[in-house]
Structure 1
Amino acid sequence: MWGVIPAAGLGSRIQPLAFSKELLPVGTRRDGDVERPRAVSEYLIDRMILAGADKICMVISPGKSDIVEYYGASVGPADICYVVQPVAAGLCDAIFRSLPWIQPEEEVVVGLPDTVWFPEHGLRALDGGGLSFLLFPVEHPELFDAVVTDERGRVLEIQVKQRDALSRWVWGAFKLTGAVMRELHDLWCERGQQDPYIGTLVNEYLARGGSARAVRAGEAYVDVGTLHGYREAMQLLSGVVV
């Protein structure tokens, strides 16, 4: 299984930093008997590995060599490769940079490296063989991508940063096959590569007969890309033993 991590963003909401935002220290981890700071992106990588990912593709910008230096060639049982997104061109562009290395039959999990969420095993709740989203309840869905579903968990619409969103459940990660990823890529190209957000692209995919499921298995979700989110993450982790 692949884990794809789009890590090429500018991080303008939390700058200035002297390093990539994905390496922002959030909480701590144990290294033997020593407690060390933990980079925020480690939380996502750990969750991908718990879901079965044994290959991680990090999509980085040309100036983010510090991420390569930090993680090197592997984390635990997972090998890591790096793909460069030459210019910041949105989430869809970043995710699809990994496509040449992914086979149609392989499963892929995608998440955002500046988030902290629970439960740790949440990705295991997602079905394989198609496209499925892991949902989390939030107080302000208009700041995220709210996912509207029917009673059986089928995705009806993704409302991208929409005021008065119809759902307070937002996606925090998703799972799909390489084949579905290729379908989405081809649709993205057909639409002139104009979709910066995965939500608008998935809406068109659904309108053309595609299907997606959503699982409300998330419990807590924090975007650490802002100073407010950073404080929320520290508060969330204050009662968690890691």
Structure 2
Amino acid sequence: MWGIIPAAGSGTRIQPLAFSKELLPVGSRFDGQAERPRAVSEYLVERMVKGGADKIAFVISPGKFDILQYYGDRVEGADFAYVVQPRPGGLCDALFRARHLIHPDEPVMIGLPDTVWFPDDALASLPDDLLSFLLFPVEQPELFDAVVTDAQGRVREIQVKSRQAASNWIWGAFKMPGAVFHELHALWCRRERQDEYMGTLVNAWIKEGGEAVGVRAGASYVDVGTVRGYRTAIRLLSGGTFSEAAE
């Protein structure tokens, strides 16, 4: 199973840094007996491996060679590949840069590298055979992509950073069969690649008869792409509850 990590963004909300935002130290981990800082993107890599990914593709911009240097070709449990997005073009453009790696018969999962969320094995709750979103409850859904579902969990609409968000459940990661990934790419091309966000593309796909589900298996979610989010993540990882960390 593939995991795709879009990491080509410039990270303007938390810059200036001397390195890519995906390598921002958040918390720590033990390497043998030695404790070392942990890059924020390591949390997503770990969660993808726990969810079943054995191959991970980072989509990077031309200047983000430090991500390649940091990870190399493999971590325990997964081989790495790197795809270049030559210029900023939005999330859809970044993800579909990796389309040639994805076989139609192989599932693919996608997450954001500047987030920290729990439980860390939540991706395993998503089915392999249809487009499915891992959902998390948040207090300010207007800052994210809110997912509106029916009583059976079917996705009715994704509201992209809407001030009138009708749900406080947002997507934090998603998974789909490789065939659906290619269908979404074909739809994106038919729509003249106008969709910057995955939410608007999925809305169009649903209107054409596509099916997606939302799985409310997430408990806490932090966007580390801002200074406030960074502080929240540090408090959460230091042992505070999510409500304490979000204050």
Q: TM-score, normalised by structure 1?
A: 0.98
Distance in 1 separating the partners of 2:91 and 2:65: 20
For this pair of structures, how many residues does the alignment match?
240
Question: Which residue pairs with 1:93 in the alignment?
Answer: 93
| SS of residue paired to 1:113 | coil
Q: TM-score, normalised by structure 2?
A: 0.96
Question: Which residue pairs with 2:221 in the alignment?
Answer: 221
Question: Which residue pairs with 1:137 in the alignment?
Answer: 137
- Which residues in structure 2 correspond to 1:20-35 (within 5 Å)? 20-35=20-35
Q: State whether structure 2 residue 50 is matched by structure 1 residue 50.
A: yes
Distance in 2 separating the partners of 1:49 and 1:186: 28
Distance in 2 separating the partners of 1:224 and 1:195: 24
- Which residues in structure 2 correspond to 1:58-137 (within 5 Å)? 58-137=58-137
Distance in 1 separating the partners of 2:195 and 2:237: 34
| SS of residue paired to 1:194 | coil
Distance in 1 separating the partners of 2:11 and 2:27: 19
Long gaps (5+) in structure 1? none
Question: CA-to-partner distance for each residue in 1:80-122, whole Å, 9 max, x for gaps?
Answer: 0000000010000000011101100001010000000000000
Question: Which residue pairs with 2:243 in the alignment?
Answer: none
| SS of residue paired to 2:14 | coil
Question: Which residue pairs with 2:183 in the alignment?
Answer: 183
| SS of residue paired to 2:133 | strand
Long gaps (5+) in structure 2? 241-247
Distance in 2 separating the partners of 1:14 and 1:117: 19
RMSD: 0.7
Question: CA-to-partner distance for each residue in 1:158-195, whole Å, 9 max, x for gaps?
Answer: 00000020000000000011100000000000111010
Question: CA-to-partner distance for each residue in 1:186-236, whole Å, 9 max, x for gaps?
Answer: 000011101000000000000000000010000000000000100110011
Question: Which residue pairs with 2:165 in the alignment?
Answer: 165
Q: Percent identity?
A: 67
Distance in 1 separating the partners of 2:90 and 2:100: 18
Distance in 1 separating the partners of 2:157 and 2:38: 35
| SS of residue paired to 1:81 | strand
Question: Which residue pairs with 1:211 in the alignment?
Answer: 211
**Deviation of the 1:155 alpha carbon:** 0.2
**Deviation of the 1:130 alpha carbon:** 1.2
Q: Which runs of 4+ in 1 moved over 3 A?
A: none
